[in-house]
A and B are shown apart, each in its own frame.
Chain A
Amino acid sequence: MKIIVCIKQVPDTTEVKIDKETNTLIREGVASVINPFDLYAIEEGLRLREEHGGTVTVLSMGPVQVIESLREALSMGADEAILLSDRAFAGADTLATAYTLSKAVEKIGAFDLIICGKQAIDGDTAQVGPELAEMLEIPHVTYVRRVHGIASGQITVERMTEEGSEKIRFPLPGLITVVKEINEPRLPSIKGKMRAKKAEIPVWSASELGTDPEKTGLQGSPTWVKKVFTPEQKGGGEIFEGEIEEQVAKLVRRLRETKIV
């Protein structure tokens, strides 16, 4: 199995401030860590490798200091790490990030599974994973809390939904994003740390990836952050009971009432 894990380096605090001028995050003076959800992604990659053999490649886009986070991933046991870094990538939103990652995945070549954390704690969008899958034209499943198994080119996973869970089987290559319920990330080992310290981490730039400058960095980012807030909790929904025909009739009536159709 060739597994790719995408990680992001984030500020070591949930209290990030926004630069009023550019409406982007102020990162100076804040210690950086691997996005906590990505630790679960790394751990799941390592566990799947232990079970099925193969390799785990960790991929990250960001400034050169992200090398430190990649070294941490290596010290946990990842086989190799690659940094995507170029001034042209700076200021990327989720779309431009996913595009850049997709070019890197193409450059890596054949793979079986991409694992991402469910979201980054600094942006909270949960978009990069799904966008990356779309760009690569592979199936994806989000909020995975358990991988049941991988057999004959198919993976079976359980994903969390607001109401409960869904069990889904889909063909590989594919992408999953994982939630913290999936595992407990391991700590690095001393031998892992020593190995990570010496490891060569290639840095791929825009020219090496052959990225379209219109699609990377600030230029390739249509997102404009106006305000950051926590959305209100959605209501519990409504359950229609009775025979299937009855349920459908009720639903259609309801959709008409609320002018949805």
Chain B
Amino acid sequence: MEYFLTDVQLEIKELAHRIAEEKVRPVVHELDESGEFPWEIMKVLADADLFGVYIPEEYGGLGGGVMEQLLVVEELSRVCSGVAVSYAASGLGAFPILLFGNEEQKEKYIPDIAAGKKLAAFALTEANAGSDAAGIETTATLDGDYYVLNGTKQWITNGGEAEVYTVIAMTDKKKGSRGASAFIVEKGTPGFSFGKKEDKMGIRASATRELIFNDCRIPRSNLLGREGMGFIVAMKTLDRTRPGIGAQAVGIAQGALEEAVKYSRERVQFGQTISSFQAIQHMLADMATQIEAARALVYATARMIDSGVKDFSKESAMAKVFASDVAMRVTTDAVQVFGGYGYMKEYPVEKMMRDAKITQIYEGTNQIQRNVIALELIKEYASKKR
């Protein structure tokens, strides 16, 4: 479908595509097996200026928005979603600073993130606080000019690899969800260490790790926004990055479709290529149609966000839910088209199916997203906006 991308967007998409084909594809299998962090590829993305596509020019970026970022995520994800999420998670860590940081904080942290010299990460989840983010137990206590952090964050993408972490911690437990605050914590700060690195089903090239804060003292000036704004920072950030998960899902699904079409034209059974069976043709047709619908929704949402409208929680949730469900269905069908070969690691689609699953889980499970969408719907009807 024609999405009327701008010249710059086309350049970004093309370059990301080229990097995915030339630098990522040859090592996809190896990265999936070893689970090693793809630093070389991060360097290539940095040199290509792709870490700065969504960052304003005044901080060394290219001045684009969510749309530009999505194009990179989608193209990388088409080849390796583990690489794509490592790239995207840096944006997840940077957005809180871009959205809520003061001038000094932005000037200090954003240019290096835009240049890809430093990766960022975002830390909300804890062992006892997943969907119920308000249940976080990590605390930040003011002590003179410092906040003292204590607690453990779990499953943090880019954990250990990133230099800059946005961390949500409780500054006032009594206030419940209004008692959380957001902080910038630098790697290497005394009292900040890394725990267990997870062995995952998919997106294995990405690093998912524990962050441990043990009397970690950070300057008071590292508070983002005001005390008590922690969950607002988190929610506004996630609203903005969820279409990125949608783009990740679209990329995986696109990759799977391409493999399935190619394979169906090569595999011969009953004396003919399996692509001549209508059962296979219809499966491919449904895969392609769903992907296009998902892509259209994801792009439309990104453009809506970039246009500067204020509220887009519902659309952002829809883009994430729809695209990730599509990715799961499409990759499952791709394995079906491959038959037994699809189940084998020698063929590319089983990895895509494993990778697709995470898109239904992180940045808010699809159940939670449906809650968000439904709540917004009911609110809209209640206030008789329609």
Q: Which residues of A contact B (CB under 8 A)?
A: 186-194, 197
Contact = CB atoms under 8 A, between A and B. Distances in A.
B53 interface: yes
B285 interface: no
Contacts of B7: 197
B contact face: mostly helix, strand, loop, or mixed = helix
B20 to A, nearest CB: 11
Contacts of B44: 187
B133 interface: no
A196 to B, nearest CB: 10
A199 B281 CA distance: 48
Contact of A187 (B8, B11, B12, B19): B19
Contacts of B18: 187
Nearest to A186: B47
Interface string B30-58: 00000000000000100111100100000
B205 to A, nearest CB: 20
A187 B47 contact: yes
B372 interface: no
Nearest to B23: A187
B62 A193 contact: no
A194 B15 contact: no
A75 B8 CA distance: 14
A190 B14 CA distance: 10
B346 interface: no
Given A191-B49, A192-B49, 15 more contacts: A186-B47, A187-B15, A187-B18, A187-B19, A187-B22, A187-B48, A188-B15, A189-B47, A189-B48, A189-B49, A190-B11, A190-B12, A190-B15, A190-B50, A193-B15
A187 B23 CA distance: 10
A174 B52 CA distance: 39
A214 to B, nearest CB: 44
Interface of B: 7-8, 11-12, 15, 18-19, 22-23, 44, 47-50, 53, 62
27 contacts: A186-B47, A187-B15, A187-B18, A187-B19, A187-B22, A187-B23, A187-B44, A187-B47, A187-B48, A188-B15, A188-B48, A189-B15, A189-B47, A189-B48, A189-B49, A190-B8, A190-B12, A190-B15, A190-B49, A190-B50, A190-B53, A190-B62, A191-B62, A193-B11, A193-B15, A194-B11, A197-B7
Contacts of A197: 7
A194 B8 CA distance: 8
B117 to A, nearest CB: 14
A15 B7 CA distance: 33
Contacts of A189: 15, 47-49
Contacts of B49: 189-192
Nearest to A191: B49
Contacts of A191: 49, 62
B346 to A, nearest CB: 28
A219 B7 CA distance: 42
Most buried by A among B7, B19, B47: B47
Can you list the 7 inter-chain pairs with the closest CB atoms, starting with the nearest? Answer: A190-B49, A189-B49, A189-B48, A191-B49, A193-B11, A187-B48, A190-B11
A197 B10 CA distance: 13
Contacts of B48: 187-190
B149 to A, nearest CB: 37
A190 B48 CA distance: 6
Contacts of B23: 187
Contacts of A192: 49
A198 to B, nearest CB: 11
B367 to A, nearest CB: 38
A168 B53 CA distance: 45
Nearest to B18: A187
Contacts of B12: 190
Contacts of B53: 190
A189 B50 CA distance: 8
A197 B6 CA distance: 14
Nearest to A187: B48
Q: Identify the interface centre among A186, A188, A190, A192: most chain B CB within 10 Å of its CB.
A: A190
Contacts of B15: 187-190, 193
Contacts of B11: 190, 193-194
Nearest to B16: A190
A197 B23 CA distance: 24
A40 to B, nearest CB: 15
